[in-house]
A and B are shown apart, each in its own frame.
Chain A
Amino acid sequence: EQLFVGDQVLRIMASNEEQIALLRALGEQTELQVDFWRHPASPGHPSDLRVPFPSLQAVKTLLESNGISYSIMIQDLQKLLDEEKKAMAKSRRTER
């Protein structure tokens, strides 16, 4: 089972086409293993990027050095996944 401990989802707001292109290029860098949950569309539209824990520093540095603003949408993905799994198990145990 793939675990996502420490992975974050970043909400990124590109302000121009150049930054959009940069984000798209970021998505193509296979070694970073990032995953766009919401792809970069146009300036002013948010995009959401899941970043594996080992790539976090590199991605954040790249965003900051290019003046691309972002916030952390999901702090630790695995925590949410664990909650979801727990809710499913609980639901299955409940007699209906």
Chain B
Amino acid sequence: STSTFDFASYHTIDEIYDWMDTLVADHPGLVSKLQIGQSYENRSLYVLKLSTGGSNRSAIWLDTGIHSREWITQATGAWTANKIAEEYGQDPSVTAILDNMDIFLEIIANPDGFAYTHSSNRMWRKTRSINAGSHCIGVDPNRNWEAGFGGAGASRSPCSETYHGPYANSEPEVRAIVDFVTNHGNIKAFISIHSYSQLLLYPYGYTNTPVPDHEELHEIAERAVTALSSLYGTSYEYGSIYTTIYQASGTTVDWTYDQGIKYSFTFELRDTGRYGFLLPASQIIPTAQETWLALKVIMQYTLDHPY
């Protein structure tokens, strides 16, 4: 049962994948597990689908862990999936969202990297693909998207942590999401969750030109951050990727925005640098709880403002 899973602890990929099956079993009419592809090392890429029925409903996408070492994100993803499942029928906002839309949640978006952080190198960020002609492994899956691909803010060196890869979508982990989003065709919000530095960002990262929906996205971000901060007073900054942190090309949400998914956001969760990627497990639940408040704002807004 999901009640035996300790959300306040970090877990291996096997533990999380096993737990996903129990979540499905505990909520058979609501939660299902889809395989959207396979990683470079042939691990399954699973997406949890939370749906109350209907065909090709509009949908919200959430992903965590595309940078494998950002363990707080996979932990937050698991907590969030459970929260959504438990709150359906209880929380009016979650109930309204799921009565009208589907939610897709990919908890381990980079399974090879995640397994590697448990077995060999806790600090691993990239995928685990071999790069022809280089002894360095892996591609940064948040520089591998077809949005300003290969431009400034990504490295052409396979040894760099921000290596963009040989071509856009070269990584099967990225390609699987691209294919899923494209085939679905009705995803209205896309939220990609990273850590750390406490930011809520929206496109663009590859150019300083504001997106056409800049003002609306800024206002949503402001509301989401206000909700997030209301719980523990955690301080977040928000704005476009380019203006708030740095130029970064080939990023996930730049691509999703360019695909027409207006409500495209990316989070950087706790902390601001006391522990970095080694955030203690005692902070998993507070982090997930405050993030949930922001996610709810974005999801509710998506429901209330169709396009």
Pick from B93-101, B120-128, B172-180, B255-263 the stretch touching chain A: B120-128
Given A28-B157, A35-B123, A50-B123: A88 in contact with B275 (beta carbons within 8 A): no
Question: Which of B120, B159, B276 lies in contact with A9, CB distance below 8 A?
Answer: B276
Distance of A83 from chain B, by nearest CB (Å): 8
Contact with A along B139-173 (1 / 0, CB 8 A): 00000000000000001010111100000000000
Q: State whether A74 touches B276 (Cβ < 8 A).
A: yes
* Bound Cα distance from A9 to B274, whole angstroms: 10
Instruction: Give chain A interface residues in 39-63, CB to chain B under 8 Å.
Output: 39-42, 45-46, 48, 50
Cross-chain contact A28 with B245 (CB below 8 angstroms): no
Does chain A have a CB within 8 A of B91? no
Nearest CB of A to B294, in Å: 21
The reply to whether B273 and A88 contact each other, CB–CB distance below 8 Å, is: no
Q: Report the tally of A-B residue pairs with Cβ distances under 8 A.
A: 74
Q: Which of B4, B8, B122, B161 contacts A36 (CB 8 A)?
A: B161
**A65 contacts chain B at the CB level, 8 A cutoff:** no
Interface residues contributed by chain A, number (CB under 8 Å): 32
Q: Are B9 and A87 in contact (CB under 8 A)?
A: yes
- Which residues of chain B in 228-279 are interfacial with respect to chain A, using CB atoms and an 8 Å cutoff? 245-246, 273-278
- Cross-chain contact A81 with B278 (CB below 8 angstroms): yes
In the assembled complex, the Cα of A73 lies from the Cα of B120 at a distance in Å of 23
- Smallest beta-carbon distance B216→chain A, Å: 25
Q: Quick check: A48 and B246 within 8 Å, CB to CB?
A: no
CB pair A87–B280 under 8 Å, yes or no, is yes
Please measure, in the bound complex, the distance between the C-alpha atom of A84 and the C-alpha atom of B117, giving whole angstroms.
12
Chain A's closest residue to B155 (CB) is A28
Number of chain B residues close to chain A: CB under 8 A: 30
From B3, B161, B275, B276, name the one whose CB has the most chain A CB atoms within 10 angstroms. B276
B44 at the interface (CB under 8 A from A): no
* B281 within 8 Å of A (CB atoms): yes
Residue B196 lies at the interface, judged by CB distance under 8 Å to chain A: yes
The contact of B121 among A2, A11, A30, A38, by CB within 8 Å, is A2
User: Which residues of A (1-35) have their CB < 8 Å from a CB of B?
Assistant: 1-2, 4, 9, 11, 27-28, 30, 35
Is there contact, CB below 8 Å, between A30 and B159? yes
Contact between chains at B10 and A84 (CB < 8 Å): yes
Contact check, B6 vs A38: say whether CB atoms are below 8 A apart. no
Q: Is the CB of B245 within 8 A of A41?
A: yes
Find chain B residues with CB under 8 A from A11 CB: 273
* Cβ of B119 under 8 Å from chain A: yes
Which residue from chain A places its CB closest to the CB of B281 in the assembled complex? A87
When chains A and B are docked, how far (Å) is the Cα of A81 from the Cα of B251?
29
B197, CB-defined interface residue at 8 Å: yes
Q: What are 17 A-to-B residue pairs whose CB atoms are below 8 Å?
A: A2-B120, A4-B122, A28-B155, A28-B160, A30-B159, A35-B161, A39-B245, A40-B246, A41-B245, A74-B275, A84-B10, A84-B122, A84-B280, A87-B9, A87-B280, A91-B8, A96-B6
Which residues of A come within 8 Å of B, CB atoms? 1-2, 4, 9, 11, 27-28, 30, 35-42, 45-46, 48, 50, 73-74, 77, 80-81, 84, 87-88, 91-92, 94, 96
The 9 closest A-B pairs by CB, nearest first: A91-B9, A2-B121, A41-B246, A80-B278, A96-B4, A41-B245, A37-B276, A30-B159, A48-B273
Given contacts A37-B196, A46-B273, A80-B278, 9 further A-B contacts (CB under 8 A): A28-B157, A35-B123, A37-B276, A42-B246, A45-B245, A73-B273, A74-B278, A84-B10, A91-B10
